[in-house]
Structure formats: structure tokens, C-alpha cells
Structure 1
């Protein structure tokens, strides 16, 4: 036994396909044995009982009927056990696809779809067009066909997907039977005259539907997706607008010709009807005159003859009307709508003719009745009038009683609905309270588990500390012995050193080996030893026309140095912020100093106030010290003054006045430049001024290896999606929370006037790094309160972002 279920969009034509399959051997479903329900009635009761939205105002959800409905379905299948192949077609099947699939393994599904133009054209034939109607159609078409596509892709062994328009072609209609046999195991045989009924294809409605759907591209996208996976597709392109206009014009010409013929024929029929009505009026006048003169039998005979002649004329009119009706039936399928309208006129004229004939017969009967029983008729009519009056009064009384009962039932229904609503609200409130109680219980259990874990860790840590104290005591004693030994060796070498220093050649050797320790000063108001610099001016030298400028300086011995760069002007503040500096290939982190945070300047100025001093601290190792010293400046872009209407056509970046480099006696500063490759998680690609954290709320950053000591961590924040994100971010180092502070918070006046914080912002925190942390590696962890997409603010950027960082530094503290 095979059960074939056919469904689709209401205007996809799935019912026509089901009727064709019935003609090819598919048996219609019998009603259930007990309740005598058809499959359509069972599905409707299930949908009404569970609350399915048959208008598709929302996504069609798959229903899960209970045991009662399963019993009804089982009774239906038992009633059809004697049929080898049977099935039904119903729109409500879309809500029960999963149910019927799981109910019986022999169920098979024929899913039918059509192009959106085809379906909308069928809808426009039945209803008046409005924007709300088109919008509702597009939503229902998308939702129904999306559900069909989802079910088809998940059940390929039990489904076929057909385009109803393709089945209008004879070869494709025959291929439907072979596909059903191969895919579903359903063997159908088509008779010689077998075909699939198609609705009238009116080019005017297709043109109208085509124009309306141009504002809804999503339906075309889904239609192409259906065509790409369907078993039988309509392998013809959608008619273009010009072709539809041409077909519509041809149909309009044909309709105009038919309409003209119909109007002429209607005019003739109206004239004949008027003539008949005039003749009937004359007959009525003669009948009234005959009442006054009942003895004139000869005139009565004449009236009968005229009446017979009138009937003959009416028969002729009837023959003409039948001839016109046969002509209307011979119209092509494209003029069916006009034929229906003319058929309505014919029916109206036929009714008018029948009424006239009936009136003539009544007049004839009245003549006979008036001749036979003229006096008794008035009494009978009076009696009938009285009876009708009494019946009317009784009906009015009964209607008033029924209306009162209806009002009582309506009030009772409203009160019951109100009680049901209140009960539902109480149930929902109780459910929410129960859920909150369960959540609090779970949270309490989780906190208890965390407390137990922390207590266990504390006991383990105390035990570890006691064991380490004994080990450290032993290590200290060993170190003390080693210290005494080293002291003896130092005394030995010191004596030898005194002997050697007496030699004049050794002193000369040390003088030749020593590196200059004097500070290096480069004056850019004079020609400099470097590349990509314009001629010196009174205030300094401009960098350009290329993006990389270099300065050659004396070689620096290994150690730490402080660099100060005095910038007197820049073509754009962004160029100043995005400068990249390196010494012999090693990146140097620059920080802006100066008076840019002055309150008056911050309130009334937007540009950077020059001069500005950039400072940096960098380290030179032995490898770099063996090479000639080269400082390289890299700029994000250059700007020509000619763009702003000035005569200077040079491409410039910044104008530098002085460069000062001095040696420092501090420990090594390490850091990470997020404009270069990094090691970490939850970071987007690099940008000119840093890197954004996202899309998640938790990011990590691996720091360089350092020695165990106390450090100051500096984080340079270039931007934030919202001030609350920067304020609510939680920082930790290897799981240990860090408290960062902003060294330059907003002043009271800036907060009062609602000024936002200016970026970049330097966050600082002090931390003690232990030897175990150094061995395990340092990981800086960020936990953001939220991430925000620029798309929510009207941008095309769909990323979810939190903070954008430029550098992270570890500065040793004394």
C-alpha cells in the first residue's frame, strides 16, 4: 500500500495535479470507519484544535498531534487498506508533513510549486489588487515554499518536487509518471487523452503580477533555489515585460472585437425586450378592459391569439439567445472571463424572458380565473393576506426572542473568555515563578560547588606553600655558600685587574673599544643625512614624497635609549597618529606628548596644536649594535597642498624640527604592536591604527617572556564602540584580575558639558609577575560587557566589535 499526499501553495495549482493523478490510477481516500471523516476533515480538525495559522501570517510550524488524532488517522488508514495506491490533496498537509512521514513508512509526498508570477496572476483574478494583498501574498509564498524546500531536502527518498508550469508540456506531464515510479515506487498509467488541467493563462494578469513583484526580489531568489533542486522544472525563462505587453495588447484587441459584437447583440435584445414589454402592457390594458366587458368573447379570443404570438416571439428570442451562448462557448480560453460576463448578461436576459413568459402565463390564468370566479378571488386573497400578516407577526416575535437569546449567549461567551484569559495569565505567572525558582536553585548549587572547589584549592595552596618554604630555606643556604665562593673569585680577579690596568696598551684598547655615550641630536633645520626629505626650511624639514623616510645616525651600543621627536606640523592629525618608527628593523612605540589636553583647546579647537613631541623608549641588542644606525619613518598617507587650492604641489607628511636620542640606565621594556602579527584569540584583522576585538565577548593576548619582577602594564586604547564597554571591561593576567586606571580621566567641566572621551586612551596597572607565571607564559585576558555591530548604527560593517587596541607594554618597576 502506498499513500500519496499532494500539497503546495494555495495558488500553486497542486489540486489540478492531484485530479490528473486520479485520472492516471490514483484512488481517492475513503472516509474513516467510525466517524466517517475524510482526510481533509481530519487535518482541518487537527489544525483548528492545535491552532495552526492557515493564513500563513507566521512561519508554518510542524504540528505534533496527540493520541486522539493519531487514533483517527489510524482508523482512516485501516479504512483504505484494500486500496493499493491512494491519497489526497490538501493545503493543511503543509503543517503535518513530519506527522504523516513518521506515521507510516509507506507515505509519499508530491510537493508542488510555481513561479511567483504564475501564483500572483491566479490571485489577481479572484481579488482586487492592494499593496497589503501583494505583501501578504509574498510572505505566504516565501513561507510555504521554504517549508516545502526544507522538507524535500531532508526526505529525498520519499518526496518529489514538481513545477506545475512545466507539467503543462505533454512530455513533462508523461515524465511525471516515470519520476513518481522511480522515486516513490508509485506506478500510475496515463490514458490516451490524459493531461493536467491548467488555469487560463491571461497575459494581462501576468504582466500586472510581473510588475508588482519587481519590488520583492526575495521571491525570485527562492524560486531559483527551488528550480535548482526540483525533479521537474520549467526550463523556460520568465517572459520579459515587452513580450507580456505585446500579448496583452493582442488579447485586448480580441476582447474589444468580441465586446463590440456583444454590445450590438445586447442592444438588439434590449429592443426586443422593450417591444415585448410594450405588448404585455397592451395585453394587461386589454385584460382590464375585458374585466369590465366579460361578454365580449371575440376580443378574448383575439387576446389569446396575441398571447400565443407573443410566446412564439419569445421562443425566437430564446433561440437567438442560445445561438449567442454557443458563440460565446467557442471563444478561446484567453477570453473565458469576458465569456463569463456575457454569460451573466445572457442569464439576466433569459431570466427577463422567463419572467415575461411567466407573466404572460399568469395573465392568461388570471383571465380564466376572472371569467370563472371573479367574485370569490377577492375573499380568498383577503384571507391569504390575513394569514400572511399573522405569520409575519409570529416570525417577528420569534426573531426578537432569538435575538435576546443570542445576546445572552454572547455575554456568557465574553465572560467565559475573560475567565480563560485570567486563568492563562495566572498559569504563565506561576510558570515564570517556577522557572526563576529553578534557576536560583541551580545558581545556588553552582556557587556551593565553586566554594568547595576554592576551599580545596586553598588547602592545596597552603600545603604547597609549606613545602616550598622548606625548599626555599635549603636553596637560601646553598645560595649563601655560592655567594661566598663568588666573592672569593671576585677578589682574585680584582687583584689581576689591578695588575693589568697598569699597562698603557690595555687602557688604549679600552678607549678604542668604547662607544660614544653622548646624546645624539639631529637638527632638521639643516640638511640631514637621510632619504625622502625635502630641502630644509626655517622650521624644519618635510617628509616626502614617498611614504618611507630614513635618518642615518651613529651606531648605538647595546642598552636602552630614550627618543624625542619634535614635530612642528603635519598635513593631517591622522598621519601623526599612525606613524610607524623602527631602528634597524626593530619597531619603536611612539607616544604623543605636549599641550593637546589643555581645557580651552579641548573645548574650542578640533585640530592638533603644534608643536608636538613624540617620545619612545627602545632597546638596542648586540646584533643591532653591530650594524650602522638607521631610523625609518613609515607614514599611512601623504597629502598635497594643491588639493586645498594652494600652489604647493609637493606630497607631504610631517615637518620635523629636532631629533634627540639619549642613553637610559633602566631595564628592558617589552611590548606588543597590534598593528603587526600577534598571538591571541577573538581579534579581527589588522588595521592601520590597531586591531578590533570581536566578535565574541572574551579575548586573549599572549605577552612576550619577561623575568619575574614588578611591572607596569600600559594598554593603548585607540577606540571603543561605546564608553560603557571601556568602563565595564574586566582585565586579568593568567586568571588574576587586574585593576586598570585611566591616567587622564575626563575633567569635571568636560563631564558637565557631555564631552566624550578623546582617544587614544592609555590604561595602566601594576602587577607582580612570579617565576611560575613566567615559565607558563603570560596571557592578558579581556572580558567585555557587550559587543556592538556598526550595522545597527546605519553602517555597512556587519562585524561585532568591542575595543580597538594599538599597543600593550610591560615596563619594569624598581
Structure 2
């Protein structure tokens, strides 16, 4: 198995800044698919983080060909899988990173996490990290991510304790982003979280100390003003961009209105064309009906003409028959000619009359036939006109449909542009409101920060006066009790004289001198982080009851003469001077005997209270 190194930290706490200084070729990419599926399953379901048989087989066969080359696996999801990694890979080493509560919460606020839920998860992750470090101390190194980022060389030296040789990026990357506003919010949020001090002290005791680095500088008023002006310039640019987008949207709206007006005009023209087409269609239908009627009349005239022609033929046939009969009569005998001359003359006259009638009927039939042909020509002409009108009507109807489709398309584009304009206006209003809320919230936070600082100083002065008054009253009560037990009248009289009748306010005692390291220099002072660490140690020692104040003052009278609080003097100066907090605790012996304590920045008495006592470490020679 190659040199596998598992490195991880809590999600959203900014732990990954420590990896920015390492050479990228040391990281494993891509990770096998079985392991990625395992990580995703553990992230989705907390009850099923145990590896499957397929994952276990993949872990056992997965190795790098070069055993001297580091293989770094960096994934925050591995935080919940550390015990499984340690069990399946016995030769793997673990490089765990953490960030202090303020830095972690500032990164979480920048990334949009809920502060309360994030802090709860941060507490659980710290307990998990420290517990894993205790179980696998020989394979695990717990480091402060911020210190590792500021001092990458010290981190490289520290990981050599695990037998690892990591390479730094060449060249190193620039410093990360400065979280100014987020740190102010985080500092305000953590003001009342007293339990984090003990948890952080325990975390620092388990972590490997890197080289001491300069505390993170705080921005002064001019730098804050410059940052505010930078945000204001960005806001002005955002407003200008919004105005430009609004103007562009207005132009699009005007163009859409123009398109909509044109669409309405096209629609009106289409409706007019449709009406004209319907009118032409009605005229064409009317002409077709007239044509059908004219055709019917032509057929009737043609039938009449045919009847007249048949009658004329019949008359001509009859005439021929009469002529034949006359000729036969003339041929039969001339004898009857004279007798029948009169009859013949009458017959000839009748024939002439009938012939004249037949000619008149023939002329009338020819006239009717000419009229029929003329009417048929007119009907054909009307039918051609009707077909032409019907074609024009179809053309007008197609144009009307095309204009209507174009109008509907323009209307859809206009509606779409109008909706986009409304959405852009809404986003512009939301961005402007969010920026205004952020500016107001920043001003309110700064104002509240100054008010809280002033109130804390006033409360501390009042508390000191109350403590002094209570001590004075207790002293007077003890004197009266002693005089009453002795039964001495002069002593009782003296006690009565000393006891005020109306309990006037106790005399103001001179305030104890505080070491320079504990004096507040404002909310943005450079010694703020160191002062907080010392105050945590003072609080832990007071609560433990291990410090003998009377013995310390009698052993070191210069502390009493200077007016220092003995515990504050021991934390700020006594440890450096190798002074002892009690007769049973030798500071110099404890630091010399336990090099892991001397290599850290932790107070030796605090270390004994939290860890050394449980580990039964000796506190002086012969104990």
C-alpha cells in the first residue's frame, strides 16, 4: 500500500486554506468511483456509512506504484468516515485541520450557513476530531488551519513526525480573502458563548503547536472607511448597471409596444381583407347562381328551338306530300283540270300561305337560336369572371392568414419582452433593497459593538465596588462576632461604634493593577486574540480551585506590593518566571519533565487540570 494521507475538516469552516500551499500533484485525482459513491452515500444517509464489501475490496487493492510518493485525499466528507479509513487502511496517516470559532463562523457567514446550526455542528466536529486524535495518536496530526496557511514551512516540518514528506507549491499562492464584516458579526455572535472557551482550550491542547505567528491584524478606522468606500463604489456600479438595464428594458418595451401597434394594424387589415374576401365570395356565389339560372333559360330556349325545327320539318314534309298529290292529280288527267282549276287555285293559295307561315317560323327559330348563342357566351363570360373573383378571394384569404400569424408572433414577442422587463425590474429592486439592508446592518453592528464595550467596562467597575463593599461588611461582621463571644463590654462598645447605623457606602478601595497583556485597547487592537487566550486560562484556573492565592502572595511579596491579582500575575508573568502556583506544583519541573507541554503555548497548570491529572503526570520531584 502506498503512502495514503487522509486530510479533512469541518464543512464551511475554511479549513481548506491550509491545503493551498501544497503542491497540487500530490493530491489524488480522480478518486475511484466506488469511494466517491461511498462518500455520497455517507453524506446522504448518516445510518449507512459503513463501507460495503465492494468498497472494502477496492480499498485493499488500491495503491500507488511509487511507495515514496505521497497520495493526498482531501475531502470534507471523510470527517465522518475517519474510523472506517483507519480500520481499512492500517498504514494510512491522517492530517486533520480545524479553525477557531470566530474564523469558522466568519467563513460560514460568508458561505450562507445558519450561525446557530453551524456552531452546533462545529462543536460536534471538534469533539469527533479530538476523540479520533486520542485513539490514533501515532497516526494523526491535528493542526490549526489558519496557522498552517500562514506558516506552510512549519506545517511541512510538523508532518515529518508522521514520516511524511510533503512538497510546497512553487510559487506560493497569495493570501486568502479578508473577512472583515463577517468577523465583526461572528465576534458579536460569540460574545455570550462561554462554553467555547473551554472547548477551544481542549482543542489547542490536542493540536500540535506550529511556530508562533503574528496575530491577524485588525482594520483601523481608515481601513474600514476605505473598505466601506469600496463597497459603496461597487454599489454605485451595480446601480449604474441596473439603470442601464432598466433603460434597455424601457427601449425594449417601447419597441414591443410599437410591434404590438403594428400587430393590431396588421390584424385590422387582415380583418378588412377577410371581410372583402367574404364580400367577393358572396358576389361569386351570386354570379354562380345567376349563371345557373341563365344556363337553365338557355336549355329551355334550345328545347323550344328544337321543337320549332321539328315542326318546320313536318310542315315541309307535308308540303312535299301535297305537291306530289297535286302532280299526281295533274298527271291523271287534264280533263278534270278545268273543273278543278278553281280548286287548284285555292289549293295553291293555301300552299303559299302555309309556306309563308313556315318561312316566318323558320326565321323566328333562327332568331331564337342566335339569342341562345349570345346568352351562352354571356354565361361563359360571367363564369370566367366568377372563377377570377374566387381566385382573388382565395389569395386575399391566404394573405389574411399570413398577416394574422405575423401579428400573433409579434404579440408573443411583445408579451415575452414585457415579462422579462418586469422580472428585471423586480431583481433590480431586490438587489437595491438587499444592499441597503446590508449597509444599515453594518452601521448597526458597529454601533452595538461600541455600546457593548462601554457597558462591559461600566459593569466591571460596579462589580469591583460591590466586591470591595462586601469584603468590608464581612470584616466588620467578624469583629462583632468575636467581641460577642468574648463578652467584653469595651469590645462590644467598640464594635458598635465601628458598625454604621445606616450602612453608609463602603470606602472605595484602590483597584487592583492589571497586567499590560490583559488591558483592553479597543475592539480592533492587535493583542485582542492573545488577551482572550489569557483570560480563558484565568477563568479555568479560578474555577479549578488548584491555585493557592495566599501562598502565592506570601511566597512572592512583590506581587502583593504591586497590587496585582495573583492568578492574573501567574498567567501573564509567573509562568515565564517559573513561579509556582501552589506548594505542590513546580512549574519548572513540570515543563522540563513534559516537553509536549513546553513545546505548546498552553499554560502548564491548565494543562494539568484538563489532561495531566487524568494521565497521572508528576507535578514536582518526589511526588
Q: TM-score range by the shorter chain?
A: 0.3 to 0.5
- From the two aligned structures, give the one with the greater helix fraction: 2
TM-score normalised to the size of structure 2?
0.40
Higher relative contact order (CA 8 A, sep 6+): 2
